[in-house]
């Protein structure tokens, strides 16, 4: 359990309070970015149906993306639970929720209702299709792959001639989370001038189509559509995924005059020749020069391991990296030097959780992990007491099923050896 006083003072966002309601990835990650930098983040869970992230994929998403939070397992829509929610909103700076568009308005908790309680509240709604627009779409449910499909992203991924596949890992969710985080921060800055809150309408599909560089404009202006590339650029030679002599893969980009000047001699080709003239920035894919370059590179790759290819090319000025897996990352000297693999305690206080550190690094006000993901409703009493609820009133919420606490948390256990929560 943790009170406000138990939250250490650190980071750029200490002193702010964020309330978050959302499953899966988008809303929790947006709130997590606040939590990692010192804000008091209160995660409201459904007391009857805990976050499914606790029980899927070993609970890793919960442990990584709900750390530093406090958990309030509350029915916030009905009875005294609704009163508790509004009391909490009155103390908050930011409210982040993810649901089908219009859900909070439908329940009488729309923006205007929340601003009556807290005029300075900054609100972020995250949904697949937005809060406004065609009502048929606004009501649609969505997860990351649905947003990828509707947002013109999924058709860009996969091998030409084969079915399109969703991009990993969850770009629609994480893009939405970054938009929600950044724009609520901007709204907090504006609030210092006006004293008034703001409402941010984040539609997953819009975030995805907005981050597709030049491709939408190319089509809408010139009729030039995106052509699925797969593992190799269809524009440039020596730009894509390649298999090395040991069967491991690297990704390489021979792109730009400086890179070609430094890189071509490394694979036995002459920069400044007729095929590769001085000042050239790309080697066109499918051209005679491209064919020569690809053939020379194939010989180079066959004679070296992926580690050797990366060492020769990357240290020679050519953008190149082995395709790392998690084991390679943990053993890598640069990962180790930057402390990327971090360790913190789970909610049982004893189990070590390994995951990714707080990023990015900050020189003067660094973020930190001070607490693992909370157990379900772990902080109910502390939060409600801070809101002025008496023990009797809290007990009544428990008795009515509007509040729940489960002291176990299997989300950091191996389900093959520990069993699922409730087993």
Element (H, E) at 173: helix 171-194
Whole-number CA gyration radius for the chain: 25
Mean pLDDT score across all residues of the chain: 93
> What whole-number distance in Å separates Cα of residue 151 and Cα of residue 210?
9
> What whole-number distance in Å separates Cα of residue 208 and Cα of residue 418?
38
Element (H, E) at 232: none
* Annotation says 173 is catalytic: yes
Catalytic residue among 111, 173, 379, 409: 173
In sequence order, the β-bridge partners of residue 341 are 356
pLDDT tens per residue, range 142-195: 999 999 999 999 999 999 989 999 999 999 999 999 999 999 999 999 999 999
> What whole-number distance in Å separates Cα of residue 123 and Cα of residue 199?
5
- CA-CA-CA-CA torsion for 264, 267, 268, 272, nearest 10 degrees? 0
pLDDT tens per residue, range 268-319: 999 999 999 999 999 999 999 999 999 999 999 999 999 999 999 999 999 9
pLDDT of residue 416: 55
Global pTM value:
0.92
Could you tell me whether strands 70-73 and 239-243 are parallel, antiparallel, or unpaired per DSSP bridges? unpaired
In sequence order, the β-bridge partners of residue 74 are 403
pLDDT tens per residue, range 52-100: 777 765 567 788 999 999 999 999 999 999 999 999 999 999 999 999 9
Distance from the first to the final alpha carbon of the chain? 24
Asked if 172 and 206 touch (Cβ cutoff 8 Å), the reply is no
pLDDT tens per residue, range 84-93: 999 999 999 9
Within 10 A of 181 (CB to CB), how many other CB atoms are there?
A: 23
Look at residue 232 and tell me whether its pLDDT is greater than 60.
yes
Asked if 245 and 302 touch (Cβ cutoff 8 Å), the reply is yes
């Amino acid at each position: 359990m943790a009170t406000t006083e138990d939250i250490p003072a650190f980071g750029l966002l200490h002193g702010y309070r964020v309330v978050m309601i959302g499953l899966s990835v988008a809303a929790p990650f947006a709130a997590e970015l606040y939590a990692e930098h010192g804000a008091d983040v209160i995660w409201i869970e459904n007391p009857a149906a805990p976050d499914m992230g606790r029980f899927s994929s070993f609970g890793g998403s919960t442990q990584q993306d709900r750390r530093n939070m406090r958990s309030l397992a509350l029915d916030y829509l009905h009875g005294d639970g609704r009163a508790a929610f509004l009391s909490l909103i009155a103390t908050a700076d930011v409210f982040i929720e993810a649901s089908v568009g219009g859900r909070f308005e439908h329940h009488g908790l729309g923006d205007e209702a929340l601003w009556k309680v807290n005029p300075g509240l900054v609100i972020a709604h995250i949904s697949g299709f937005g809060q406004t627009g065609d009502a048929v779409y606004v009501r649609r449910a969505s997860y990351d792959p649905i947003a990828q499909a509707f947002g013109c992203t999924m058709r860009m991924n996969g091998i030409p001639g084969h079915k399109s596949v969703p991009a990993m890992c969850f770009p629609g969710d994480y893009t939405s989370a970054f938009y929600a985080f950044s724009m609520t921060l901007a709204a907090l800055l504006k609030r210092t001038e006006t004293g008034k809150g703001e409402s941010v309408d984040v539609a997953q599909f819009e975030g995805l189509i907005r981050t597709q560089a030049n491709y939408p404009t190319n089509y809408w202006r010139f009729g030039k559509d995106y052509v699925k590339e797969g593992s190799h650029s269809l524009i440039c030679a020596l730009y894509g995924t390649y298999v090395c002599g040991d069967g491991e893969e690297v990704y390489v980009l021979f792109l730009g005059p400086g890179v070609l000047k430094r890189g071509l001699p490394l694979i036995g080709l002459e920069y400044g020749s007729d095929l590769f003239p001085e000042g050239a920035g790309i080697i066109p894919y499918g051209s005679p020069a491209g064919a020569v370059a690809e053939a020379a590179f194939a010989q180079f790759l066959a004679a070296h391991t992926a580690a050797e290819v990366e060492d020769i090319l990357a240290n020679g000025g050519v953008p190149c990296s082995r395709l790392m897996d998690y084991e390679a990352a943990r053993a890598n000297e640069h990962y180790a030097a930057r402390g990327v693999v971090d360790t913190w305690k789970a909610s049982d206080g004893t189990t070590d959780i390994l995951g990714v550190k707080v990023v990015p690094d900050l020189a003067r006000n660094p973020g930190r992990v001070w607490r693992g993901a909370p157990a379900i409703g772990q902080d109910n009493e502390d939060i409600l007491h801070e809101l002025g609820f008496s023990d009797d009133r809290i007990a009544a919420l428990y008795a009515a099923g509007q509040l729940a606490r489960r002291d176990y948390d299997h989300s950091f256990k191996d389900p093959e050896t520990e069993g699922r929560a409730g087993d």
